[in-house]
Structure 1
Amino acid sequence: MLKPNANRPPELKSAREIALMREAGKLVARALKICREMAKPGVKTIEIDQAVEAFYAKYMAVPLFKGYPGKTPFPAVTCLSVNEQVVHGIPGQRVLKEGDLLKIDTACKFNGWCADRAITVPIGTISPEKARLLKIGEETLQIAIDLLPRRKWWSQVASEMQRHVEKAGFSVVTSYVGHGIGRTMHENPQVPNYVDHETRKSDFKLEPGLTLAVEPMVNMRRPEVDTLGDQWTVVTRDRLASVHVEHTLALTSSGVVIVTADEGAFDDDSPAPVAAPPV
């Protein structure tokens, strides 16, 4: 939600710590599965948020968005942003309708470790242009996953992400960036999805132990955004559609671990995560 302090170096994680983050990532993936199943025409966004809050409570996971500080504390455990809303949409009485694009972002802390993920879900049948926008957004995140172990500097990855978006005729939101993540939701480094003079100043080396929340936000036309009067909801200035996708990723000596991946998160035969007793 907010940019981390760029003056501090990234905190590298051990294999054990990444494995603990993966347990939090499984819960986030399962929460988003609930959201996908509920995201239908006629459903109110608050109903989705309440289901996720109940899910986190069941596993004694700490939702990281609710109460997040700002001019007013964020009031929900998910950010649910529709169509022209880019990020930080507040769940409420809005009813989803056929053709909407719903962005769902959520994060939790489990046994002291955090995971953060966002998806964009089409509501019913969406327009071909929205479908292409969603496809490009998801491909852009996949570019980051593919290139992390094959490049030396983050700027080399971000430039490829930006190039893919702009080649398709869309734009990268430059007002918000991804972030490091671990024991807290927002750690260093800042993780932009684009490259310019300023981001090159804070470029960082890609090395084993990095844990990053990579989250491209792609607008249909122009990159400019505004924040609404609720102090949270970010919308495209031209009020055209936007998509937002995100994974928590860990770079290891053997490749990339997708901390918030679906696989292994929904196996009914696997034991449920167990929260550690309070210290």
Structure 2
Amino acid sequence: MIYLKTEDEIDLIKESAQVLGKAHAEVAVWVNPGVATKRLDSIAEEYIKDFGGIPSFKGFNNFPASLCISVNEVVVHGFPSGYILKDGDIISIDCGVKLNGYHSDSAYTYPVGEVSKEVMDLLTTTKRSLYKGIDQAVDGLRMGDIGYAIQSYVEDRGYSVVRELVGHGVGRELHESPEVPNYGKRGKGVKLREGMVLAIEPMINLGTKAVVQERDGWTIRTTDRKYSAHFEHTVVVRKGKAEILTTFDYIEKVTANTSLMVEVK
């Protein structure tokens, strides 16, 4: 069942999203060569709890951490660990916050140190594709319009779209209906209605779209071991123009004029 959110519920998700955005920024400061990914997880968890939130991911289906940390060829659902970030890596940080009974969910992929132009172009294209999808989250359009906008944008530039993993509804539960694929056909799928709150999250690969799940039951990586990028916002479907509930503003304040900045013009 798809739940349409009231304005009061949307305001509560916005409050959650503010804590989430600031938690992301706290972590972004530490994304540097020489830092262990488990250190990033502890920073996020402490910040979220200090502001009265609950890390949405920790304990969700027994997931062991507050962040999904996915490095290089890992698409999503990577575990924080003792892995030490090094120059040339990319790292996707996916985080959720539950506050006042409502979840928000967002992800951002960072370059670590100096990365190649090929890799930076992947990050920039993936981030741009997120906004292409959000532009279609409008009352009266269809879910396929979101997916088509993302898919056509990235495939025209030589990248591939992961099929096995999709976005989702967000609200009292971290994952609600409907699913939000990053591929599709215009005019097809669930009709979008004002009040739907959706996590739109393109997962875009430098190489093949094929992925595999590791034996830990969570970690998803590309089969060709080429890099994958992931950006995500929680948005509400509106008439005329979608409203973005999560924010990258805090991230972009701390990454401005640094190698971490993924700029979209």
Aligned length: 252
CA distance in 2, matches of 1:108, 1:213: 13
Distance 2:133 2:184 in 1: 14
- Deviation per CA, 1:182-203: give whole Å up to 9, x if none: 111111101000127xx95xx1
Q: Distance in 2 between matches of 1:66 and 1:134?
A: 26
Which runs of structure 2 are paired with 1:239-254 in the superposition (5 Å)?
Answer: 239-253=225-239
* 1:31 partnered with 2:23: yes
Alpha-carbon shift at residue 95 of structure 1 (Å): 0.3
**SS at structure 1 position matched to 2:226:** coil
5 Å matches for 1:78-157? Answer: 78-149=67-138, 152-157=141-146
Q: Which runs of 5+ in 2 are unaligned?
A: 254-265
* Amino acid across the alignment from 1:127: S
Q: What secondary structure, in the 3-state scheme, does the structure 2 residue paired with 1:252 have?
A: coil
**Letter matched to residue 17 of structure 2:** G
TM-score, with structure 2 as normaliser:
0.91
- Greater Cα shift, 100-109 or 151-160: 151-160
Kept in 2, the 8 Å contact 1:116–1:246? The answer is yes
C-alpha distance in 1 between matches for 2:252 and 2:88: 28
SS in structure 1 at match of 2:93: strand
Answer yes or no: is 1:54 the counterpart of 2:43: no
Matched, 1:183 2:175: no
Offset of residue 255 of structure 1: 2.9
2:258 paired residue number = none
Which residue number corresponds to residue 214 of structure 1?
200
What TM-score results when the alignment is normalised by the length of structure 1?
0.86
- How far does residue 265 in structure 1 lie from its aligned partner after superposition? 9.7
Determine the C-alpha separation between the residues in 2 that align with 1:234 and 1:264: 28
Deviation at 1:253, TM superposition (A): 3.5
1:52 aligned counterpart, secondary structure: helix
Q: Distance in 2 between matches of 1:123 and 1:154?
A: 34
State the match for 2:211 in structure 1: 225
Report SS of the residue matched to 2:28: helix
- Give 1:270's aligned residue: none
Alpha-carbon contact 2:102-2:172 (below 8 Å) kept: yes
Identity %: 37
Give the CA deviation at 1:254. 5.8
Unaligned runs of 5+ in 1: 1-7, 268-279
- For 1:68 and 1:172, the matched residues in 2 are separated by 25
Q: Is the 8 A contact 2:21 2:250 kept in 1?
A: no
When the two chains are superposed, the root-mean-square deviation of aligned CA atoms in Å is 1.9
- Residue 67, structure 1, aligned to residue 59, structure 2: yes
For the structure 1 residues 28 and 88, does the alpha-carbon distance in structure 2 shift closer, same or farther, using more than 3 Å as the test?
Answer: same
Amino acid at match of 1:132: D
User: CA contact under 8 A between 1:173 and 1:217: conserved in structure 2?
Assistant: yes
Counterpart amino acid of 1:115? S
Name the CA distance, whole Å, in 1 between partners of 2:135 and 2:252. Answer: 24
Deviation of residue 251 (structure 1)? 1.6
d(CA) in 1 for partners of 2:236 and 2:250?
17
Larger mean Cα displacement after TM superposition, 89-98 or 256-265: 256-265
Per-residue deviation, 1:121 = 0.6
C-alpha distance 178-57 of structure 1, shift in aligned 2 (>3 A):
same
Separation of aligned partners in 2, 1:266 and 1:215: 18
Amino acid at match of 2:53: A
Equivalent residue for 1:158? 147
Q: Distance in 2 between matches of 1:113 and 1:129?
A: 38
Letter in 2 for 1:33: A
> Quick one: which of 158, 181, 193 aligns to 1:192?
181
Q: Is the 8 A contact 2:20 2:96 kept in 1?
A: yes
Q: CA deviation at 1:210?
A: 0.8
